[in-house]
Structure 1
Amino acid sequence: MRSLFHFRPLVLTALSVALLSACSTSVRIPAPVEDRNPSGRTTTSAPSPSAAPAVEVAQPMPGSENAGKPGFYTVQRGDTLTRIALDNGQGWRDLARWNQLSNPDVIEVGQVLRVSPPGGAVEAPGVVVRPIAQSTTPSSQVTPPKSEPAPSVNQPTANDDGLGFIWPANGVLIAGFDEAKNKGLDIAGKAGDPILAAADGQVVYAGAGLRGYGNLIILKHNNTFLTAYAHNQALLVKEDQKVRKGQKIAEMGKSDADRVKLHFEVRRQGKPVDPAKLLPAR
């Protein structure tokens, strides 16, 4: 008769298998959560299931409700407020004010900006608009106009709103207008030559923050016209300053240019136009 010791390994093995099976089929119950309420009593409750992770919802860009509407512009990669203002015939300070920008140097791609005056157009400060008086004299009694003198070199040209643009520098014209390649005229000269305001207006930009233009001045003449004067070696006026036609506003230079020259642009409602068509003949 075999001793019980011979069966001991078999018994232990069977017992181990039974215990492992019981462990694998048992359900783990998480420990209860204790909550101590303000009265000091401890209550016990079962833990709630894990909350689902929060899903971030993309916030709309500022002004997105105005995207595509007239008078608004959607910021593109590489834009600056100065560039947007120039391309829309406005001053950057006006854009900052209309859009309540606390930091004009920070704009985001996709942001929609107002680029026209809210509530209707307002004339540029300092620009006087005089209505044309209506004649009450019967047509049969109208006095014939007096003969006019021959036009001077500074006679206003057609479609310039009566501003009477003058040449901003006396140098040789070295590059003409090309809407795709050269949005204005390039006038040669010597470093330090005077740069003149082409018409009465107000300085809406004076600085070097627009790539490709160097030291730049932008004048706003009215709601239609801006003029730009680039590559100067010295700027002699400040933003918001009013200037008169023919006033010296800068000195010619070659900042951000390959040679000494003035790059001169005329913008009609933000669009570059050929200055030669608005300047008197030389």
Structure 2
Amino acid sequence: MNYRPEQGKSRPTHSSATGIPWLRSLLYILMVAVSLPVMVGCNTSAIYQDDRYNPPVYWGRHVVKKGETLYSIAWRYGRDYRELGNANNIQPPYHIRAGQVLRLDLKGRVPASTRTASTADPRAASSGGTASQDRSARSTAPAKTDPKPQVTRKPDRGVELARQSQTVSDISWQWPHTGTVIANFSTSGQVNKGIDIAGNAGDPIRAAADGNVVYAGNGLLGYGNLIIVNHNEHFLSAYAHNRRILVKEGEDVKQGQTIAEMGDSGAEGNKLHFEIRRNGNPVDPMPYLPAR
């Protein structure tokens, strides 16, 4: 569109492009359109679909959908479930309902007893407690990696890998699948918040440690059929892209128990995407799993 002055009148002069009436109006409309998601306060799926973006997220709101749990929502936004629950006045056992609005722009705190336990032992020190809360609200920088955890009991290398276990941070861990690792943990470049393990459709996926199933569903984009297991107040593990889920939310599972069948849901091929999160932050699973 060209600006044409009326006949008999001189062309107006402007110090900037925004002085042109129609362009000024257009810019205003664009600014409103861009700011509308922030005004509404709900986050879009782009936040957790973008592999280059590494949470935590401390802005906006989330409307609970059917099938979601506080654990899965905290996982989506890179938050400690205890901290997110505290921010929204949700107490254990952290029941939420569809339609409930969770404030992501509020920062909660972890109860003093659990926070003291995590800071007293350097092996369980959190990189995502108060330190992560001090991070810039809109920072997209990858989270810092945790120091290598101390192994208190190494696996018996004479035992086949499928049955080997080692104790790290007071939890006995084993491989959820013994296939080849085809993608390693990475916090830069092509971000990978866990490891990817190759296998065949229908292969058994086993619980890496004793725990309780706190999510079993397909509500997190990019994960397909997903299981999240809570091991203690600090550690969660996740098993993604399953063909079939064999456990239910609230079920206790034992290390080595088959909890799913390998598949390609939410992925381009059959594989297991396996994550461990400590206090809400992704950590490299390799130091926790027995050496191959």
TM-score by length of 2: 0.54
Give runs of aligned pairs for residues 142-157 of structure 1, distance below 5 A.
151-152=156-157, 154-157=164-167
Shift of 1:116: 3.6
Q: Check if 1:172 corresponds to 2:180.
A: yes
CA 1:115–1:216 in structure 2 vs 1: closer, same or farther (change >3 Å)?
Answer: farther
Equivalent AA in structure 1 for residue 228 of structure 2: I
Separation (CA, whole Å) in 2 of partners of 1:206 and 1:77: 23
Q: Name the counterpart of 1:254.
A: 264
For the 8 Å contact 1:219–1:228, the answer to whether it is kept is yes
**Which of residues 198, 214, 222 in structure 2 aligns to 1:212?**
222
1:90 to 41, 60, 81: 81
Contact 1:216 1:232 in 2 (8 A): yes
Please, which runs of 5 or more residues in structure 1 have no aligned partner?
A: 1-60, 62-71, 123-147
Q: Counterparts of 1:90 and 1:185 in 2: how far apart (Å)?
A: 22
Stretches of structure 2 that go unaligned for 5 or more consecutive residues are 1-40, 42-55, 65-69, 116-152
Secondary structure, in 3 states, of the residue corresponding to 2:101? coil
Identify, as 1 or 2, the structure richer in helix: 2
Runs of 4+ in 1 over 4 A off after TM superposition: 72-75, 77-81, 91-96, 99-102, 108-111
User: Residue in 2 aligned with 1:107?
Assistant: 101
Q: Is 1:76 matched with 2:68?
A: no
**For 2:100 and 2:219, how far apart are their aligned partners in 1?**
13
Structure of greater Rg: 1
- Comparing 239-248 with 85-94, greater Cα deviation is found at 85-94
Task: Write out aligned runs for 1:1-282 (5 A).
Answer: 74-76=58-60, 81=70, 82-85=72-75, 87-90=78-81, 97-98=90-91, 103-107=97-101, 112=106, 114=108, 116-117=110-111, 120-121=113-114, 151-152=156-157, 154-157=164-167, 160-180=168-188, 181-282=191-292
Distance 1:187 1:260 in 2: 9
User: Would you say the 8 A contact 1:265–1:272 is kept in 2?
Assistant: yes
Give the C-alpha shift of residue 90 in structure 1. Answer: 3.1
Contact 1:215 1:231 in 2 (8 A): yes
CA distance in 2, matches of 1:239, 1:255: 19
Query: C-alpha deviations, 1:37-73, integer Å up to 9, x for none?
Result: xxxxxxxxxxxxxxxxxxxxxxxx9xxxxxxxxxx98
- The question of whether the paired residues in 2 share the 8 Å contact of 1:218 and 1:227 is answered with yes
- CA 195–110 in structure 1, closer or farther in 2 if over 3 Å, else same: closer
Question: 1:150/1:253 Cα in 2 relative to 1: closer, same or farther (>3 Å)?
Answer: closer
Secondary structure of the corresponding residue to residue 171 of structure 2? coil
Does the 8 Å contact 1:92/1:205 carry over to 2? no
Against the structure 1 CA distance between its residues 231 and 92, is the aligned structure 2 distance closer, same or farther, given a 3 Å change threshold?
Answer: farther
Distance 2:91 2:57 in 1: 13
Counterparts of 2:290 and 2:220, CA distance in 1? 29
Given that 2:216 and 2:247 are in contact with CA atoms closer than 8 Å, whether structure 1 keeps it comes out as: yes
How many residues are matched? 184
Residue 164 of structure 1 and its aligned partner are, at CA, apart by 1.9
